[in-house]
Structure 1
Amino acid sequence: MKLRTKIQLFTSFFMFVFILLINASIYFLFYQNSVDSELDELAEQVNTILVAINQNEEIPPSELLKAFLPADGIIRIYPENGSPLVVHTKSSDYLGLPGEYSKSETREVLTYYGDRYATVSKPIIWNNGEIVTLHLSKKLVAITENMKTLFYVLILASVIIIIPIIIAGNLLARFLLQPIKALISTMKENMKHGKWKKIALTNRSKDELYEMEKTFNDMIDYLKENYEMQEIFVSDASHELKTPISIIKSYTQLLERRGQENPELIKESLDAIGTEAERMQKLVEQLLALAKNKEVQSGEDVNVTELIEETIDTFSRAYRRVIEFPEQGVPFYVHGNKDQLKQVFYILIDNALKYSDRNVIVNMEQFENKLAISVTDFGPGIPEDEKERIFERFYRMDKARNRNTGGTGLGLAIAKTITSAHGGAITVESSLGAGSIFKVLLPIKLS
């Protein structure tokens, strides 16, 4: 069942039930008020009869009662025992109406052969001094006719009300479903033709439908941007893998043709194949690192001072280079993943050593609730227009230099991803010919 049909059925059914309850309430309230009015009128008539009997003692009560006989009713006098003393009626149809002696005044509505009768009973003193019951019954002819008329009027009014409600429900369904249909059509077109089509925002009030359309357009922009980034990423990764694969394939073919005749060529080929294999392995590892470092893998309080000292010690022994790190008075802690944070400092120090022949300086200091770790090198520096791009995947300023140093263009992208996942940021300050300062800001864990 379509949503439009559901909306129409729901609104129509809800209003039908609502109108039914209202009409039923009106019907029964009107009936009850009418019956109460008839009973009050009949009780007043009984009191009038009593007054007339007391004021006209010379007239026999049985004769006096004829003057108060209703056109559609019956008057009876019931003794305590035996048959009625007096029965006055204009139609024998009313003789079968139930009645009895009663010591107290009663009011009720009886149903007799499908007709309703208002009945009032009241004890009185008869002319012989005996206490009897005056029983007055009246057929509710006017009420029955009025209730039929009211019933038909309510049905007609309900029909008149339901028709505009059905029309309004149809218009409401169209209004609500128009942007949804446009959304579905746009989504199908995007899936079928591979487009990034957006919905034209209407100039209506900023309601939920407008927010839905705006959110859809924002989502399309987000998906398009990520899809394009993914295409670039796959293209760049394929390009980076293509070069070492081509080199390995070329040296393999060269060995097949001339390897047996030239032993020196074997060593050269194996060295080149090994170098390119290591480059491919490093590239694949860094691609995996980018995928898994989008979130903090596990959280703990990490001693950053100790972590940097360990990283510096590893590089100092491997490169036999001087890395200056002033002694810290107290250890600094951040909450995060130790291995991921160590990878950030490893990347920054490794880059500093690759692009500078002089000493590398590592500093650490606290700014309010932030811990700043800076890595300074005295290399060639970074041009102003390339400072932001160096954090992009596979971006390299000097491709020849990076090829010689084994760079893949993924290191800084990985460092930025990890830092962002830890709620921090990474920035760079650089001057051509004077070197660069990479600074990592992390939320500090206060003791």
Structure 2
Amino acid sequence: MKLRTKIQLLASVVVVVFVSLTNVSVYLFYENQSFQSEAERVLNQTDAMSQAVSTVPYDELILVNVIQSYIPSEGMIRLINQDEESFHTFTTDESFSSISTSFTNSQTAQTLTTDDQERYVIASKPLIWEDGEIVTLQVVERLYGLEENMALLRYILIVASIIAILPAVVGGFLLAAVIVKPVQRLSETMVHVEAEGNFQKLNEQNVTKDELGQLTVAFNKMMERLHRQFKQQEQFVSDASHELRTPLTVIDGYAKLLLRRDIDRSSPLFKESLLAISDETKQMQHLTEQLLILAKDDEQLHVEKTTFFVEQLLEEVTDRFQVATNRSIKQISQRSSQTVYADREKVKQVLYILVDNALKYSEGEVEFVVDRKKDTVYVRVRDYGVGIDEQEVAYIFDRFYQIDAGRNRQATGVGLGLSIAKKLIEAQQATIFVESKQGTSTTFTIGLQAGEDCESDE
């Protein structure tokens, strides 16, 4: 069943049920009130009759005349003794006599529906008879007028229900069209995307601000993201193939050179070939390891968070690079003994990447700056080199993206370091971003979760 049909059917059923329940409730309420009103009317008539009977001297002829003056056009009046026997009956139709007699010494009024669906009101009132005996004065009246009114009410409610349901069905059809149209457009677009392999977006003109409009906007954002990721994947495969092709070509060339010539192992050419093969193999191995890291999902990185002092980790990184490069790395901490809750080895790997870049693209001092805001510890790696152009900052974490080599002609690499750094940081639900002023400085900032034993800033 189509969604439009379901909405139409559901809307129609809801309206039919609501209208039906409403009309049935109105009918039953009116019927109950009408019965009570008729019963009260007949009871008042019975009370008036009893008073009239009690005010006249006892004489059977006079009594008969008084009682007959109160007989309903469709009813019966009778007197019932304590043995529940009727000793005086006055009726316009002998069929009323079939109604069972009932003695009562209290004033009552009730309604009766026969098997033929005829409705009666029976009102009873006790009287003291001439010999002191208590008898029951009973008045029975057939409710012809009420039946006619109830039949008319049923007809009116049925017509009103039809009049109310028809617009509701039409409204359900229009509502289904309004709701289903954008969903149908979305479905058709998705089928087209699957069939054609493109990333078509929905038209956002005249988009409403309701959930359907939000669905359109969300779909377009998803298409845009998928298209961007698809392009990045194509670029990634292309760049990876290109980067792997170069060392493989060098290795193949030197290997063929060694095979073609009978070269003495002690000759410079032999050593040069082996060194070239070794260097290119290491380069390719390093590139492959980086690609494998980028290819892993966050769950496959096996993040193992622990609480550790960030200053101690920075000292290890500082000692490692100062010995290897003989460059100055300064550590600045706003507060002492800062701890973080993160994967220590992965944070260390990220710091290696950031410090290595800082040393490549600057000649002066590199700084570590540590501070904290609320539950986040920020570690900043700052260099005072040539900086990054504002237009390039947005792409700095993209795979294989390399800034103009003019910044540092000695800088080497394939542009995967910062992509790996971002992946390792985001796998820990942490943050990394860059701020740079061209010709002045560049600062990479890592935001890590503070350790439990740290005091929060107020």
The two structures have a TM-score, normalised by structure 1, of 0.86
C-alpha separation in 2, matches of 1:84 and 1:444 = 99
Deviation at 1:306, TM superposition (A): 1.5
Q: Contact between 1:72 and 1:139, CA under 8 Å: does it hold in 2?
A: yes
Are residue 393 (structure 1) and residue 399 (structure 2) matched? yes
Find out whether 1:219 has 2:222 as its counterpart.
Answer: yes
Counterpart in the other structure of 1:241: 244
**Which one of the candidate residues 264, 273, 280 is aligned to 1:276?**
280
Q: Which amino acid aligns with 1:309?
A: E
Q: 1:82–1:161: structure 2 CA closer, same or farther, 3 Å change rule?
A: closer
Give the Cα–Cα distance (whole angstroms) in 1 for the partners of residues 412 and 350 of structure 2.
18
Partner of 2:381, secondary structure, is strand
CA deviation profile, 1:136-174 (whole Å, cap 9, x unmatched): 111111222222222222112111211111000000000
Structure 1 position 256 matched with structure 2 position 259: yes
Look up the equivalent residue of 1:122 and give its one-letter code. K
Q: Does residue 27 of structure 2 align to residue 30 of structure 1?
A: no
CA distance in 2, matches of 1:366, 1:82: 104
**1:118-153 CA deviation, whole Å, 9 max, x = no partner?**
101111122443221111111111222222222222
Does the alignment pair 1:134 with 2:146? Answer: no
1:425 counterpart = 2:425: no
* Kept in 2: contact 1:332–1:444 (CA 8 A): no
CA distance in 1, matches of 2:105, 2:332: 113
- Is 1:349 matched with 2:355? yes
The CA distance in 2 between the partners of 1:98 and 1:383, in whole Å, is 108
Aligned residue runs from structure 1 range 190-201, under 5 A: 190-201=193-204
Q: What is the rounded CA distance, in whole Å, between the counterparts of 1:386 and 1:213 in structure 2?
A: 31
- 2:173 corresponds to which residue? 170
Q: Deviations over 1:244-275 (max 9, x none)?
A: 122223333333333x4554455433322222
Percentage of pairs with the same residue: 34
Matched residue, 2:18: 18
Aligned pairs for 1:97-116 (under 5 A) are 97-114=99-116, 115-116=118-119
Deviation at 1:372, TM superposition (A): 4.7
Task: State the SS of the aligned residue for 1:302.
Answer: strand
How far off is 1:64 after superposition?
2.6
Of 325-334 and 92-101, more deviation after overlay is shown by 325-334
What's 1:373 paired with? 380
Flag the 1:89–1:323 CA change in 2: closer, same or farther, 3 A: same
Q: Tell me which residue corresponds to 1:187.
A: 190
- Aligned residue for 2:175, secondary structure, equals helix
Residue in 2 that maps onto 1:124: 127
User: When the two structures are superposed, what TM-score results if normalisation uses the length of structure 2?
Assistant: 0.84
Equivalent pairs counted in the alignment come to 439
Contact kept in structure 2, 1:7 and 1:169, CA below 8 Å = yes
Return closer, same or farther for 1:303/1:92 CA change in 2, 3 Å cut-off. same
Q: Which residue of 2 aligns with 1:409?
A: 415
Residue 293 of structure 1, CA deviation: 8.6
> Any stretches of 5+ residues in structure 2 without a counterpart?
none
Instruction: Kindly provide the amino acid, as one letter, of the partner of residue 208 in structure 1.
Output: E
1:52-90 CA distances to partner (integer Å, 9 max, x unpaired)?
Answer: 223332553234322222222221111112631101122
TM-aligned CA distance change 1:384 to 1:346, over 3 Å? same
> How far does residue 240 in structure 1 lie from its aligned partner after superposition?
0.9
CA contact (8 A) 2:365 2:383 kept: yes
C-alpha distance 360-418 of structure 1, shift in aligned 2 (>3 A): farther
Report the equivalent of 1:80: 82
1:274/1:147 CA distance change after superposition, 3 Å: same
Per the alignment, residue 286 of structure 1 pairs with 290
SS at match of 1:129: coil
* 1:334–1:442 CA contact under 8 A, matched in 2: no
Q: Describe the shift of the 1:78–1:315 C-alpha distance in structure 2 as closer, same or farther (beyond 3 A).
A: same
Aligned counterparts of 1:363 and 1:311: Cα–Cα separation in 2: 10
Distance 1:354 1:304 in 2: 24
| 2:320 alignment counterpart | 314
SS state of the match for residue 85, structure 1? strand
Contact 1:321 1:359 in 2 (8 A): no
Q: 1:371 to 1:81 in 2, by over 3 A?
A: closer
List runs of 5+ in structure 1 lacking aligned partners: none
Q: Distance in 1 between matches of 2:126 and 2:238?
A: 108
